[in-house]
């Protein structure tokens, strides 16, 4: 069993620290459009309701929640991440958002790391927290070990993230995805909490979403192209002339946009909930995705930016997104998210 003194853990920590720094660099944001500029919400000059009547409450995974927002999984496995996750969890408990923690991979081999998950839950006992593991790790891990990750966090759901492009360009990458569908279905049938499948910024194709619909999973976060691009980040971690850096540059526009991935998922009328993230930068962006039919909408980079400035900055940004969403509902004549989804008050421009 590895310990925190093992050199590989120091490499792991440095990689995670690199990820935070590089994710904040604008040049590692996807240049390809998330597609949200093609969505227009139709203005209603006579809403026939008062702004105070607008209500953001909704349901997800069989649970009533006060907002349709969640913080996408970002970082874990090092001291700086623990501080960030503490701020995020406290903010989510305060504002009623859900939160996906960063990858719990390190907890699989370092018992001490599980204490950080337990501590996070103690600090935010009422927060809706989701565990997180990579698909390539899941394939090699027994469900009982994943259950232990859920138990440590007292997670209300477990996220499995898919990141094939990132793994191809990561110097320490594990691009081993054979058997992924079987592993996902086995986990979903074993765990007593819902299983969520997410991409990490490259989206899902219709064919993949169709295959996922055959599994026992509870939700899919399409996490499309338009925000942080992990191929670019991993390329930046390699020497400039290294083949990984060169190949990452070739694939710098790779992915399916958030809007296209969401549209593909909704065409299926899937058994699972469809969540949307990837380049979401405002409450208005969220309103567009929710109007299309997303159950929840996730944020990552702007939340990380705010968290690094402190809890007050983070809470202010979250409150701003909530207010912007309420304005969008009010100005389309909808008092609830259910009405927004059913009102047909949005228009998708052709490419």
Tens-digit pLDDT profile for residues 130-144: 999 999 999 999 999
Q: Which of 188, 198, 206 is nearest to 164 (CA)?
A: 198
Domain segments of the chain as ranges: 12-39+68-311
Please tell me the distance from the alpha carbon of residue 139 to that of residue 147, in angstroms, as a whole number: 14
User: Order of strands across the sheet with 219-221?
Assistant: 273-275, 219-221, 195-199, 157-162, 128-134, 98-100, 69-71, 297-299
Backbone angles phi, psi at 196, to 5 degrees: -115, 135
CB 131 within 8 A of CB 155: yes
CB 204 within 8 A of CB 215: no
Pairing of strands 63-65, 58-60: antiparallel
Q: Going by C-beta distance under 8 Å and a sequence separation of 6 or more, which residues neighbour residue 318? A: 69, 91, 95, 97, 303
Tens-digit pLDDT profile for residues 46-94: 999 999 999 999 999 999 999 999 999 876 455 677 888 999 999 999 9
CATH class assigned to 12-39+68-311: alpha beta
Tens-digit pLDDT profile for residues 186-205: 999 999 999 999 999 999 99
Please tell me the distance from the alpha carbon of residue 85 to that of residue 83, in angstroms, as a whole number: 6
pLDDT at residue 24, as a whole number: 55
pTM confidence score: 0.91
Q: Which of 291, 290, 276, 160 is nearest to 221 (CA)?
A: 276
Q: Which conformational region is residue 310 in: left (phi greater than 0), alpha (psi within -120 to 50 degrees), or beta?
A: left
């Amino acid at each position: 069993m590895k310990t925190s003194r093992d050199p590989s853990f120091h490499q792991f920590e440095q990689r995670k620290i690199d990820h935070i720094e590089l994710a904040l660099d604008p040049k590692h944001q996807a240049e390809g459009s998330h597609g949200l500029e093609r969505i227009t919400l139709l203005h209603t000059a006579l809403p026939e309701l008062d702004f105070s009547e607008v209500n953001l409450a909704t349901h997800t995974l069989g649970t009533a929640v006060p907002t349709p927002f969640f913080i996408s999984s970002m970082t874990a496995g090092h001291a700086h991440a623990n501080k960030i996750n503490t701020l995020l969890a406290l903010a989510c408990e305060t504002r009623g958002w859900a939160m996906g923690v960063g990858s719990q991979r390190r907890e699989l081999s370092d018992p001490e790391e599980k204490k950080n998950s337990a501590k996070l839950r103690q600090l935010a006992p009422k927060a809706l927290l989701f565990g997180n593991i990579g698909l390539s790790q899941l394939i090699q891990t027994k469900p009982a070990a994943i259950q232990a990750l859920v138990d440590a966090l007292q997670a209300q759901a477990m996220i499995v993230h898919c990141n094939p492009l990132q793994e191809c360009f990561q110097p320490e990458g594990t691009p081993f995805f054979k058997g992924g569908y079987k592993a996902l279905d086995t986990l979903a049938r074993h765990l007593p909490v819902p299983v969520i499948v997410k991409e990490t910024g490259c989206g899902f194709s219709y064919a993949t979403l169709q295959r996922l619909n055959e599994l026992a999973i509870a939700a899919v976060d399409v996490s499309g192209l338009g925000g942080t691009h992990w191929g670019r980040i991993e390329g930046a971690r390699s020497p400039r002339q290294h083949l990984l850096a060169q190949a990452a540059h070739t694939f710098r526009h790779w992915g399916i946009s958030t809007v296209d991935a969401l549209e593909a998922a909704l065409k299926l009328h899937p058994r699972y909930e469809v969540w949307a993230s990837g380049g979401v930068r405002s409450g208005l962006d969220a309103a567009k995705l929710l109007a299309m039919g997303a159950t929840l909408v996730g944020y990552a980079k702007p939340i990380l930016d705010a968290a690094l400035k402190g809890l007050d900055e983070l809470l202010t940004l979250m409150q701003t997104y909530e207010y912007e969403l309420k304005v969008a509902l009010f100005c389309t004549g909808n008092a609830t998210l259910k009405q927004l989804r059913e009102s047909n008050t949005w228009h998708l421009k052709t490419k």
